[in-house]
Amino acid sequence: MRGRPNGIGERSSRSTPWRDIPGAVSAPWAGNLDAKTGRFLPPAALRERYLELGVDAGERAISQCGSGLTACHDVLALRVAGHSGARLYVGSWSDWVSDATRPVATGPEPGTFRPSPGS
């Protein structure tokens, strides 16, 4: 899952075309919080949020963002929700695109991607 929506043509702070890791779904960290208090939603509400995003409590969930910083918030929220399989992709997008052989998602759906050059 990724930390913010990324559309085709968006650019990162380094003016690199912002694409995505194939299979990633958007789970912006702010959705883990109660808008009035700024605190985490109750565990049941977090479980429901992530279930709606396709993350079942019994499955592994890997959180990523641009560099691995804001994705930590989702890992913590998943743990609060009882998802013991929550993990952080430390390098996140920055690491993923450092290897030109990795596929990159280019469409609005998680499964839409272009193969890497040469594959």
User: 60 lies in a domain?
Assistant: yes
pLDDT given for residue 9 in this prediction:
36
User: 7 lies in a domain?
Assistant: no
pLDDT given for residue 106 in this prediction:
76
User: 23 lies in a domain?
Assistant: no
Check which CATH number belongs to the domain holding 96 and give it. 3.40.250.10
Taking residues 80-84, what's their average pLDDT?
92
Annotation says 65 is catalytic: yes
Among 113, 58, 107, 115, which residue's Cα sits nearest to residue 81?
Answer: 58
- Give the pLDDT band (50/70/90) at residue 15: very low
Taking residues 49-68, what's their average pLDDT?
88
User: 5 lies in a domain?
Assistant: no
User: 11 lies in a domain?
Assistant: no
By residue range, what is the domain housing residue 102?
29-114
Catalytic entry in 24, 27, 61, 65: 65
pLDDT given for residue 49 in this prediction:
95
The residue with greater pLDDT, 95 or 4, is 95
Domain count across the chain: 1
